[in-house]
């Protein structure tokens, strides 16, 4: 009798069927799940990265350089933009759909058994366990592991002392879960710092957050390193990225915005720790790793004619960064925005940060139960005196946005990574037809 194999679509349905957040905080469930799966995390070496903004860019830079240096490098990030498998990669290769389905088929019965004993595994815990198993099976030499939410109680925090703990820029986000001051949030992020390790933090961290990280590192007997952005000299920058000088190296960073220089300095500080720990990372690997890094939906240039910029920034720091980039690179242009946000994000601060930059806004609710209705978001902008109108499908929103573009105008798609995921593929298709 032939055994029916789980399909990729069934695997995604199974993952999505799990609770988004846990019934109760704590790492005990995750520890038990991994124990039942043979503790794959114990066969791996990690670079563990927490923070509010810049985690994904910093992880991608570190992983790209390590891959160029010849190491089989796992990269775990979230959320994804177009394909779920973007979250679990080795080098540039996403986990194949078939392998993800096999892993889900093997692992889900363990989750069901735990459930029968009242131990409910969440969606993110399950995804993290799948990733760790795949990296162990594929014998990754290094894994760059991005924290999902917070740090202290995050599912990724079941690992032992990593090769280096990295904490990127900390600001206000997920305040209902993590706390409503930067210091409280820093306590959660600094929870990834393990005994007798090495901690690297972002340059120019908020003073309150920096004190918390330093104190935690000292309590855990860690060597503490604050990254220094002065090691990088900005040569030039445009919507294709930034040219930098690092020692005698000319680096091209295909990530837009001056904030990426600080993320790059953080990545280089983490890589320096690995070099001191005996990993061979030549200058050429740094150069090639930087040049080949790709990070969709973060100030991503989709097209130059017409000019279309896609950005998934959704918290106050992210929208401030987007506003700075618009002023720096799109000055003098009429700008149309296609915007959608989640209702539980700080929508009012986002509007404040972006106020005065857009001539017309098309609003669209992201495909998410937490989405702010398009009419409500349009109303919020109309009160500010900005022309805004709601669309009710991706196609309608894109058609309205492109139809309103005149010569030399720019379209900025922004507000949420969920919106970016909904719109990106359709926008790319539409742009190809316009060529």
pLDDT band at 403 (very low <50, low <70, confident <90, very high): very high
Residue 2 has pLDDT above 50, yes or no: no
Do 306 and 267 fall within a single domain? no
pLDDT band at 24 (very low <50, low <70, confident <90, very high): low
Q: Average of pLDDT values for 346-357?
A: 94
Do 256 and 309 fall within a single domain? no
Would you say the C-alpha torsion 207, 210, 216, 222 has a positive or negative sign? negative
Assigned domain for 20 exists:
yes
Residue 269 has pLDDT above 60, yes or no: yes
Looking at every residue in the chain, the average pLDDT score rounds to 94
Do 142 and 81 fall within a single domain? yes
Assigned domain for 402 exists:
yes
Would you say the C-alpha torsion 230, 234, 235, 240 has a positive or negative sign? positive
pLDDT band at 23 (very low <50, low <70, confident <90, very high): low
Do 213 and 141 fall within a single domain? yes
Nearest 5°: the CA angle 186, 190, 194 is: 170
Domain boundary among 246, 273, 292: 292
* CATH number for the domain harbouring residue 56: 3.40.1190.10
pLDDT band at 295 (very low <50, low <70, confident <90, very high): confident
**Single pTM value for the model:** 0.93
How many domains is the chain built from?
A: 2
Assigned domain for 1 exists:
no
Nearest 5°: the CA angle 349, 155, 174 is: 10
Q: Average of pLDDT values for 232-260?
A: 95
* CATH number for the domain harbouring residue 402: 3.90.190.20
Task: Give me the residues paired with residue 49 across strands.
Answer: 146, 166
pLDDT in tens, 303-346: 999 999 999 987 888 899 999 999 999 989 999 999 999 998 88
The predicted structure's pLDDT at residue 1: 38
Do 348 and 282 fall within a single domain? no
Q: Average of pLDDT values for 13-20?
A: 90
The predicted structure's pLDDT at residue 202: 97
Do 369 and 224 fall within a single domain? no
Q: Average of pLDDT values for 69-91?
A: 95
Residue 4 has pLDDT above 90, yes or no: no
Domain of residue 320, residue span:
300-434
Q: Average of pLDDT values for 418-433?
A: 93
The predicted structure's pLDDT at residue 386: 97
Of the segments 269-278, 340-349, 362-371, which one has the largest average pLDDT value? 269-278
Q: What percent of the chain has pLDDT over 90?
A: 86
Task: Give me the residues paired with residue 71 across strands.
Answer: none
Do 328 and 231 fall within a single domain? no
Assigned domain for 397 exists:
yes
pLDDT band at 178 (very low <50, low <70, confident <90, very high): low
Residue 362 has pLDDT above 60, yes or no: yes
Task: Give the Cα separation of 278 and 301 in Å (integer).
Answer: 37
pLDDT band at 21 (very low <50, low <70, confident <90, very high): low
Assigned domain for 219 exists:
yes
Assigned domain for 2 exists:
no
Q: Average of pLDDT values for 276-284?
A: 98
3-state secondary structure of 413: strand
CA neighbor of 362 nearest in space, from 335, 333, 326, 332: 335
- Between 262 and 435, the more confident residue is 262
Do 154 and 95 fall within a single domain? yes
Do 197 and 175 fall within a single domain? yes
CA neighbor of 133 nearest in space, from 35, 229, 211: 35
Task: Give the Cα separation of 295 and 93 in Å (integer).
Answer: 14
Do 227 and 309 fall within a single domain? no
Do 12 and 134 fall within a single domain? yes
Residue 372 has pLDDT above 70, yes or no: yes
Residue 435 has pLDDT above 50, yes or no: yes
Domain boundary among 259, 292, 325: 292
Residue 179 has pLDDT above 70, yes or no: no
Assigned domain for 408 exists:
yes
Do 159 and 234 fall within a single domain? yes
The continuous run of DSSP H or E covering 106 comes out as helix 97-116
The predicted structure's pLDDT at residue 180: 65
CA neighbor of 80 nearest in space, from 343, 361, 418: 418
What are the residues whose beta carbons fall under 8 Å from the beta carbon of 298, sequence distance 6 or more? 56, 57, 255, 256, 311, 312, 313
Domain boundary among 230, 258, 292: 292
């Amino acid at each position: 009798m032939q055994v029916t194999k789980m399909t990729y679509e069934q695997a995604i349905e199974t993952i999505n069927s799990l609770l988004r957040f846990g019934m109760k905080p704590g790492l005990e469930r995750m520890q038990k799940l991994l124990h039942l799966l043979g503790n794959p995390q114990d066969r791996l070496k990690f670079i563990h990265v927490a923070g509010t903004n810049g985690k994904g860019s910093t992880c991608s830079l570190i992983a790209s350089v390590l891959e160029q240096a010849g190491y089989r490098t796992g990269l775990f990030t979230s959320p994804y933009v177009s394909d779920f498998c973007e979250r679990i990669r080795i080098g540039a290769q996403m986990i194949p759909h078939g392998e993800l389905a096999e892993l889900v088929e093997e692992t889900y019965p363990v989750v069901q058994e735990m459930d029968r004993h009242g131990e409910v595994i969440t969606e993110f815990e399950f995804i993290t366990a799948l990733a760790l198993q795949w990296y162990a099976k594929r014998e990754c030499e290094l894994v760059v592991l991005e924290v999902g939410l917070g740090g202290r109680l995050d599912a990724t925090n079941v690992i032992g002392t990593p090769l280096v703990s990295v904490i990127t820029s900390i600001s206000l986000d997920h305040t209902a879960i993590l706390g409503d001051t930067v210091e409280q949030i820093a306590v959660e992020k600094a929870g990834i710092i393990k005994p007798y390790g090495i901690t690297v933090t972002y340059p120019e961290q908020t003073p309150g957050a920096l004190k918390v990280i330093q104190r935690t590192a000292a309590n855990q007997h860690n060597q503490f390193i604050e990254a220094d952005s002065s090691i990088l000299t900005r040569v030039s920058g445009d919507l294709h990225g930034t040219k930098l000088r690092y020692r005698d190296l000319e680096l091209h960073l295909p990530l837009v915005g001056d904030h990426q220089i600080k993320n790059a300095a953080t990545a280089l500080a983490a890589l320096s720790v690995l070099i001191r720990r005996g990993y061979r990372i030549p200058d050429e690997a740094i150069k090639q790793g930087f040049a080949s890094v790709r990070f969709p939906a973060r100030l991503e240039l989709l097209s130059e004619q017409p000019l279309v910029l896609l950005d998934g920034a959704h918290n106050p720091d992210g929208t401030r960064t987007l506003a700075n980039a618009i002023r720096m690179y799109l000055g003098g242009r009429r700008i149309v925005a296609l915007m959608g946000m989640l209702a539980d994000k700080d929508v009012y601060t986002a509007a404040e940060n972006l106020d005065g930059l857009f001539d017309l806004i098309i609003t669209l609710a992201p495909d998410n139960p937490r989405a702010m209705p398009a009419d409500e978001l349009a109303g919020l902008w109309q009160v500010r005196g900005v022309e805004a109108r709601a669309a009710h499908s991706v196609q309608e929103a894109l058609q309205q946005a492109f139809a309103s573009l005149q010569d030399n105008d720019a379209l900025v798609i922004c507000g949420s990574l969920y919106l970016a995921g909904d719109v990106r593929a359709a926008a790319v298709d539409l742009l190809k037809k316009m060529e």
